[in-house]
């Protein structure tokens, strides 16, 4: 049995993204969830599966209580940080296909301006206890510092440059300027990137994603039901998650330049039955600029080591051969744990992408990256 | 701002991990080895991933290795590290096989490259913790 074409994203919802929201993370999740459920043409009481996202996510019970859901048939978690959203979609489709439930809500929301920043969160997670014990006391605290050695190794082995990182940052910003719900609203240049202060060498400030407040949510249903729902069906053709070698410690990973998505991508492409040249639009998890190019390599868009030159020449820009992060991404739209990437792909395939619409987009892909290198990807198709 | 908030994070080892810190305190990089198949591993873990034995022994490593990668911290994500900026964290391929993360001594900064031979020391910091600092290995 394959999940090819069995499930669809039938509802999408987002709040405003901002640097500081007066609403709690749960309020933001509720707002986004109500929007996604309405977008799917459903009543909240029709939700019978819930997969909350993120360690700040409210438990399924909180949604049951607040929506008065009479019969929740299924709930689960996908603990992969920024790869959890796609992991949750995979779980949802499998559960629906198995007959466990009909409509799965995937809610996410965060209020980081009032709570723990990314640097602190990792060290509260038991699966990274050894990083907290052996690396944190030395001053290896935040993801920027933990991920930087992967980028540095890539630069030393393959000649990848900070100017190539800048291509990614500038492209994401250009796309964010087309998005009315983007936190960043001013254009940047390659020179701005090069002049931005060093955070964790080789990562400059403009290599790092935003910390954002907001909420985003999805509804997943069967493709059969989706064809009777309000919007054009966006079905999931291929989906997979992959865990990197040494998933709890980057330091101990044999190949620092290979992420979990390297294991997921061949499975997702084979399931979908499409090739790289079929991809009209890509939403690629961009917690850091380097992580975008590493995923492009790991997915097979180019050879290992060629990600830097691959992103040059406007390849990822709207109008280029592989328009990427048409919403502005985590780097410039907002950091919503990659749920905003899934929302944007659905929008593109509904042909509701506004000023950032890729004309005639039929097939697209979305990736997630989380924690110490977990990866996930989905290939979706209109129709 | 309380002094509590400024304190550096310190290790909180479980009993299984304590031998590493006992070694650090006397200046040795102590690694877990499988008692059955003798393969070394780091960081500590319960089971040997090669033969699945749960028995292990702790052996002092040579403390020598080569630089695998690095990052230079220019931003303090914790206030206690602000006065130390910039500092370099090196990922080191130990001669025994596993890797270690440590500070690079500033005297080696100018020579930093992949493959640079280094050796470990464990100076005690103000918090009373002995943490790995790598120096150039002149004998390599
Ligand atoms: Zn063994």
- DSSP letter for each residue of A212-238: -BEEEEEEEEEHHHHTTSSSPPEEEEE
Query: Left (φ > 0), alpha (ψ -120 to 50) or beta: where does A337 sit?
Result: left
Question: Would you say residue A189 lies in a domain?
Answer: no
Identify the pLDDT of residue B72: 98
Residue that the structure tokens 């992967």 belong to: A150
Average pLDDT for A99-112:
96
Identify the pLDDT of residue A119: 62
Is residue A221 within 8 A of residue A6, CB to CB? The reply is no
Check A251 against B73: CB less than 8 A apart.
Answer: no
Helix (H) or strand (E) holding A133: helix A129-134
Identify the pLDDT of residue A115: 67
Helix (H) or strand (E) holding B117: strand B117-121
Note the pLDDT tens digit of each residue in A49-90: 999 997 666 899 999 999 999 999 999 999 999 999 999 999
Helix (H) or strand (E) holding B25: helix B18-25
What average pLDDT does chain A have? 96
pLDDT of B1 strictly over 50: no
Nearest residue to B69 via CA among A147, A119, A143: A147
Question: Would you say residue A197 lies in a domain?
Answer: no
Distance CA A304, CA A293 (A): 10
Fold of the B18-136 domain: OB fold (Dihydrolipoamide Acetyltransferase, E2P) (2.40.50)
Instruction: Indicate if ipTM > 0.85.
Output: yes
Identify the pLDDT of residue B6: 74
Question: Would you say residue A312 lies in a domain?
Answer: yes
Identify the pLDDT of residue B2: 42
Coil, strand or helix: which one is A376? strand
Average pLDDT for A213-224:
97
Check B74 against A138: CB less than 8 A apart.
Answer: no
Mind telling me how many Å the CA of A324 is from chain B's nearest CA?
Answer: 28
Helix (H) or strand (E) holding A309: helix A307-310
CATH number of domain containing A345 = 3.40.47.10
- Cβ neighbors of A295 (< 8 A, separation 6 or more) are A259, A261, A284, A285, A367, A369, A375
Identify the pLDDT of residue A322: 98
Identify the pLDDT of residue A91: 98
Check A201 against B71: CB less than 8 A apart.
Answer: yes
pLDDT of A114 strictly over 80: no
Range of the domain at A236: 7-113+210-382
Which of residues A309 and A129 earns the better pLDDT score?
Answer: A309
- Band (A231; pLDDT cuts 50, 70, 90): very high
Share of chain A above pLDDT 90, in %: 93
Question: Would you say residue A224 lies in a domain?
Answer: yes
What residue of A is the nearest CA neighbor of B87?
A139
Mind telling me how many Å the CA of B120 is from chain A's nearest CA?
Answer: 14
What residue of A is the nearest CA neighbor of B11?
A133
Identify the pLDDT of residue A123: 82
The token pair at B139 is 């004998």
- Band (A250; pLDDT cuts 50, 70, 90): very high
Average pLDDT for A82-101:
98
Helix (H) or strand (E) holding A200: strand A198-201
Q: Taking the alpha carbons of A234, A235, A240, A241 in that order, is the dihedral positive or negative?
A: positive
Number of domains in chain A: 1
Helix (H) or strand (E) holding B99: strand B99-104
């Amino acid at each position: 049995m394959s999940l090819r074409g069995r499930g669809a994203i039938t509802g999408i919802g987002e709040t405003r993204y901002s640097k500081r929201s007066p609403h709690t993370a749960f309020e933001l999740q509720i707002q986004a969830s109500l929007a996604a459920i309405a977008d799917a043409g459903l009543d909240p009481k029709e939700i019978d599966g819930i997969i909350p996202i993120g360690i700040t996510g409210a438990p399924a019970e909180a949604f049951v209580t607040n929506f008065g859901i009479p019969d929740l048939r299924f709930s689960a978690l996908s603990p992969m940080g920024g790869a959890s959203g796609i992991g949750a979609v995979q779980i949802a489709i499998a559960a629906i296909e198995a007959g466990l439930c009909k409509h799965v809500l995937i809610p996410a929301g965060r209020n980081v301006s009032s709570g723990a920043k990314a640097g602190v969160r990792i060290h509260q997670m038991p699966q990274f206890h050894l990083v907290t014990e052996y690396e944190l006391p030395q001053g290896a605290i935040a993801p920027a510092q933990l991920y930087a050695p992967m980028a540095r190794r890539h630069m030393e082995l393959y000649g990848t440059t900070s100017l190539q990182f800048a291509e990614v940052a500038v492209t994401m910003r250009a796309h964010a300027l087309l998005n009315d719900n983007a936190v960043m609203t001013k254009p940047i240049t390659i020179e701005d990137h090069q002049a931005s202060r060093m955070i964790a060498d080789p990562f400059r400030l403009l290599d790092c994603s935003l910390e954002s407040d907001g909420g985003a949510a999805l509804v997943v249903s069967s493709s059969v039901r989706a064809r009777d729902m309000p919007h054009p069906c966006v079905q999931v053709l291929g989906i997979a998650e992959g865990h990197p070698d040494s998933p709890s410690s980057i330091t101990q990973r044999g190949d620092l330049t290979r992420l979990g998505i390297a294991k997921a991508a061949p499975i997702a492409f084979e399931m979908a039955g499409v090739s790289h040249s079929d991809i009209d639009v890509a939403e690629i998890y961009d917690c850091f600029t380097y992580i975008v190019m590493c995923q492009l390599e790991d997915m097979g868009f180019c050879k290992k080591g060629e990600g830097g030159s691959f992103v040059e020449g406007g390849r990822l820009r709207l109008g280029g051969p592989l328009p990427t992060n048409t919403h502005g991404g985590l780097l410039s739209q907002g950091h919503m744990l990659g749920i905003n990437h899934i929302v944007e792909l659905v929008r593109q395939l509904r042909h509701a992408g506004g000023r950032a619409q890729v004309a005639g987009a039929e097939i697209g892909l979305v990736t997630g990256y989380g924690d110490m290198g977990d990866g996930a990807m989905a290939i979706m198709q209109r129709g | 701002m309380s002094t509590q908030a400024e304190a550096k994070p310190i290790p909180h080892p479980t009993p299984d991990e304590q031998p590493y810190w006992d070694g650090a305190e006397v200046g040795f990089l102590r690694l877990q080895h499988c008692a059955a198949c003798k393969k070394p591993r780091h960081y500590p873990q319960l089971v040997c991933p090669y033969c699945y034995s749960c028995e292990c022994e702790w052996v002092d490593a040579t403390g020598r290795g080569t630089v695998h990668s690095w990052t230079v911290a220019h931003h303090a994500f914790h206030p206690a590290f602000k006065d130390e900026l910039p500092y370099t964290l090196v990922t080191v391929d130990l001669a025994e096989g596993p890797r270690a993360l440590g500070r690079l001594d500033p005297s080696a900064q100018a020579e930093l490259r992949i493959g640079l031979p280094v050796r470990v020391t464990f100076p005690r910091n103000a918090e009373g913790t002995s943490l790995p600092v790598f120096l150039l290995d002149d004998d390599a």
